[in-house]
Structure 1
């Protein structure tokens, strides 16, 4: 994956509307992986990302402590 689409705003602002449309109507659910656990990409086991073209990180923390 080489691109990022980053949306940041308050709760209830409809950020998921765009990504839900892409998942359901453009790519299909089989090519999209939706998760809120940052260890999916930071950890050493990420097999569930194989053959996916879009990773949706819902409500992921953006604090620097995650990368340490």
Structure 2
């Protein structure tokens, strides 16, 4: 095999392997419904806490 044949194989096989690796990572990086629900609840609580702090600051420190 000369260099041009190896490069030809790499040009064809490389993107295929890359696409497979990206697809595998996307499928295995998803959180479970429980994890997503926990994250959403924590985010809502943090926003509520920040909102209470902002209102207290606007009212002169009285919540």
Band of TM-score, shorter chain: under 0.3
Q: Greater RCO between the two (CA within 8 Å, min separation 6)?
A: 1
Q: Return the TM-score normalized by structure 2.
A: 0.25
Structure index of larger Rg: 2
